Amino acid sequence: MRQIDFHENPHDVLPDILNFRDIGGIISDEENSCVRHGLVFRSGRLSDLVENDLRLLGELGVTSIFDLRARREREADPTIWQGGGVETHVFRPGHKRRLVDMAQDYPATPAGAEALMRDFYAELPRTMAHVFGELLVRISQGAFPCIIHCSAGKDRTGMAVALLLAALGCGREAIVADYVASAHARRIEGAMVRSVVRDESVARFRARYPADALAVMTDARPDFILSALDAIDRDWGGMAPYLDSIGVTAPVVARLRADLLENMEGQRL
pTM of the model: 0.89
Q: Quick check: is 114 in a domain?
A: yes
What is the pLDDT at residue 202? 63
Q: Give helix 172-180 / helix 222-236 axis angle, nearest 10°.
A: 140
Count of H-run helices and E-run strands, the chain: 14, 8
129-166 tens-digit pLDDT: 999 999 999 999 999 999 999 988 999 999 999 999 99
pLDDT at 196: 46
Cα–Cα distance, 139 to 94 (Å, whole number): 20
Report if residue 177 sits inside a domain: yes
What is the percentage of the chain residues whose pLDDT exceeds 70? 84
Measured between alpha carbons, how far is 224 from 235 in angstroms, rounded to an integer? Answer: 17
Give the CA angle between residues 201, 223, 9 to the nearest 5°: 95
Q: Does 5 reside within a domain?
A: no
pLDDT reported for residue 159: 98
Quote the pLDDT of residue 208.
Answer: 80
Domain annotation covers residue 269 = no
| Domain around 217 | 12-263
Give DSSP secondary structure letters for 173-224: HHHHHHHHGGGG-TTHHHHHHHTS--SHHHHHHHHHS-HHHHHHHHS--HHH
Task: Convert the pLDDT of each residue in 13-37 to its tens digit.
Answer: 566 788 899 999 999 997 789 999 9
- Residues 79-93 pLDDT 10s: 887 667 889 999 987
102 within domain boundaries: yes
The pLDDT value given to residue 269:
65
pLDDT band at 57 (very low <50, low <70, confident <90, very high): confident
> What residues contact residue 185 under an 8 Å CB cut-off, 6+ apart?
11, 18, 19, 44, 152, 153, 154
Q: How many domains does the chain have?
A: 1
Mean pLDDT along residues 190-211: 62
Q: Is residue 6 in some structural domain? A: no
Q: Is 2 within a domain?
A: no
Does residue 197 register a pLDDT over 50? no
The conformation of residue 160, written as its DSSP 8-state character, comes to: H
pLDDT band of 11, cuts 50, 70, 90: very low
Residue 201 binned pLDDT confidence (cut-offs 50, 70, 90): low
Q: Give me the mean pLDDT over the 112-128 stretch.
A: 95
How distant is the alpha carbon of residue 146 from its chain centre?
Answer: 12
Q: Is the pLDDT of residue 8 over 90?
A: no
Gap between the Cα atoms of 225 and 205, Å rounded: 23
The CATH number of residue 221's host domain is: 3.90.190.10
pLDDT at 229: 98
**Is 1 a domain residue?**
no
